[in-house]
Amino acid sequence: MESPSDILVDTSWLSEHYKDQDLKIIEIDTPPLTRIITKYIPNSWVIDWKNNLWHIAKRDFVVRADFKRLMESVGISNNDTIVCCSTIKQFATYVYWILKYNNHKDVRLLDGGPEKWISEGNPVADDPHRPNEYSKSKYEISDVNSKIRVFRDYVLKSLQRNDVILLDARSPEEYQGTLINVPELTQEGSLRAGRIPRAKNIYFEENVQPDGTFKSISSLQNIYSFKNITSDKEIITYCRMGHRATLVWFVLSQLLRYKNVKLYDGSWTEWGNLVNVPIEK
């Protein structure tokens, strides 16, 4: 697809660079979902989306000193290029977003993920690297990029604003309030079903092709323009726990170059449990 090569890289590009010393491949492990392939891209580091990316006590991401420890545990320095991937596509955009939230400069996403790499007969490894205390890199911390994240009070106030679009990345059943999780998983995580008032719905899977690669730029533009989701508005994406919403955030902000796209990572797990907030069905 005609996408920015400094953001979305294909398997051909990675095959030329995966041995580069200043390139690190991060794959997000998928528990409780099952990893559907048994091989890995050589030299990749596998990290857990919750145990490694969440704060040890509160529901928040690793930032500052905790982020520094994570980066050093996988041998990453500030000037390294990081390529994100996962067999679950929204986990790849989830770690991409967290890296951008922590202001890492050069972050890219592997289009089609490990499945495409392996299906094409590229080199594979039986075991990946895991975070450890023996890595020797040094990482200098910076403040977070607060411009790409919002919290519940901000969302509540935004309901009164005509220049904000709330964008729900969940399945139609979740959006309509008949389910509180995707149909194939346990229905848990919130006490109420429904959607945030005025939210529009674009299921995150609409952005990708059957082989897991992103649709063309022109196709993506058509998807969002059809729903009148335009770049002159502030866009707030959400889903159930923030994963699927990061894929929509990635498409809008990184591929389509919308300037004002934010993630509400509290998403429906938070909103559906709050007292005295409005809900639509």
Active site residues: 239
Tell the residue number behind the tokens 């719905």, with chain if given. Answer: 201
- What b/e sequence results for 229-245 when a residue is b if at least 16 CB atoms lie within 10 Å of its CB, and e otherwise? bebebbbbbbbbbbbbb
Q: Which DSSP category does 108 fall into?
A: E
Please answer whether residues 83 and 106 qualify as being in contact, where contact means their C-beta atoms are separated by less than 8 angstroms: no
Please answer whether residues 86 and 113 qualify as being in contact, where contact means their C-beta atoms are separated by less than 8 angstroms: yes
**Nearest 5°: phi and psi at 67?**
-65, -40
Is there a cis peptide before residue 114, judged by omega within 30 degrees of 0? no
The DSSP code sequence of 169-203 is -S-HHHHHTS-SS-TTS---S-S--SB-TT-EE--
Please answer whether residues 254 and 271 qualify as being in contact, where contact means their C-beta atoms are separated by less than 8 angstroms: no
Rounded CA separation 186/180 (Å): 9
Instruction: Quote the radius of gyration of the chain (alpha carbons, Å).
Output: 18
Rounded CA separation 244/179 (Å): 16
Rounded CA separation 60/71 (Å): 17
Question: Which uninterrupted H or E stretch holds 28?
Answer: strand 23-29
